[in-house]
Amino acid sequence: MTNNDEPRVGYGAASGDDARPVTIPRLHAAHRASRPLVMVTAYDATFAKMLDDAGVDILLVGDSLGMVVQGRPDTLEVTVEDMIYHARAVSRGAKRAHRVVDMPFLSYQVSESAAVENAGRLMAQGRAHAVKLEGGRAVAPTIERIVAAGIPVMGHVGLTPQHVHAMGGFRVQGKTEADAERIFEDARAVEAAGAYALVLEGIPGPLAERITQALSIPTIGIGAGVGCSGQVLVCYDLLGMFEALKPKFVRRYDAWYERGVAAVRAFCDDVRSRRFPGPEHTFGVPKPSR
């Protein structure tokens, strides 16, 4: 590390100029030094390598893959097998970033022992470094059991997409005083249960800041303002690849969808007008046989 005050150095907040793998102690050290953590979702090896090379601290194999990869309206149909498949692919592409894998809907709510078993599969077969699950006080005993099995847990409170129907849609949470208090207590319960970090999604900025100040573990925000210890975005949103939905909190850093359509159109035109393949793509004239 060259300078702890630098906002962006070398390989990322948690590793500085050091190319060694990002571990939870290094994430916590970055948090203690007030260096914002960067988390981005990844679902395959190619993206994982690109995000890793860009200096992202944490790759999240999010169950958002149900929407952006599988084209479903929400995350509810995603299975443990789906998560293992994508997590394994991500593990092959990423060499340095810390890898967190989402526990999908009903993989941890039915019983604590099933939760430990499913979390264990994500670690062993999905090559995860940690798992993430949604909920507050209701899942705190489950988090405790998983942590006791030696599996690090990242929590997730506020707008929890697996509760889409209970919430009446993907809506900002914590807008009333009572709801803000509920989320605050949920966040404290998740920390007390042993989580090493916490995602705060879709809550007012002042509430996220209050939670961040009250906890000792890092908070990672999405649609929760600038007062969190770090930020996460879905890679397809960040790159402008997902046209179906553009939440207000997303900043698109590129327009891959439009650029992709234009590139593929150019390929279609080239094929149809016989400009592709050109002579440089064509294997040469057969050599005369001796």
Which residues are designated catalytic?
201
Q: How far is the CB of 102 from ligand KIV (least distance, A)?
A: 5
Task: Please give the DSSP secondary-structure letter assigned to residue 135.
Answer: B
Q: How far is the CB of 237 from ligand KIV (least distance, A)?
A: 9
Instruction: Compare residues 102 and 191 and give the one whose CB is closer to ligand KIV.
Output: 102
The DSSP element (H or E) to which 198 belongs, if any, is strand 197-201
Integer-rounded Cα radius of gyration of the chain: 21
Instruction: Compare residues 9 and 208 and give the one whose CB is closer to ligand KIV.
Output: 208
**Which residues in this chain contact ligand KIV in the complex, by CB under 6 A?**
41, 60, 62-64, 102, 199, 201, 222, 232, 234
Q: How far is the CB of 97 from ligand KIV (least distance, A)?
A: 15
Upper half-sphere CA count for residue 40 (Cβ side, 13 Å)? 26
Residue with the CB atom nearest ligand KIV in the bound state? 62
What's the token pair of residue 11? 């390989």
Cα separation, 243 vs 5, whole angstroms:
37
- The 3-state DSSP class for residue 196 equals coil
Q: Are 90 and 96 contacting, i.e. CB atoms less than 8 angstroms apart?
A: no
Instruction: Compare residues 123 and 222 and give the one whose CB is closer to ligand KIV.
Output: 222
User: CA angle at residue 258 from 252 to 260, to 5 degrees?
Assistant: 110
Instruction: Compare residues 180 and 232 and give the one whose CB is closer to ligand KIV.
Output: 232
What residues pair up with 137 in beta bridges, in sequence order?
A: none
User: What is the chain's length?
Assistant: 290
Q: How far is the CB of 148 from ligand KIV (least distance, A)?
A: 24
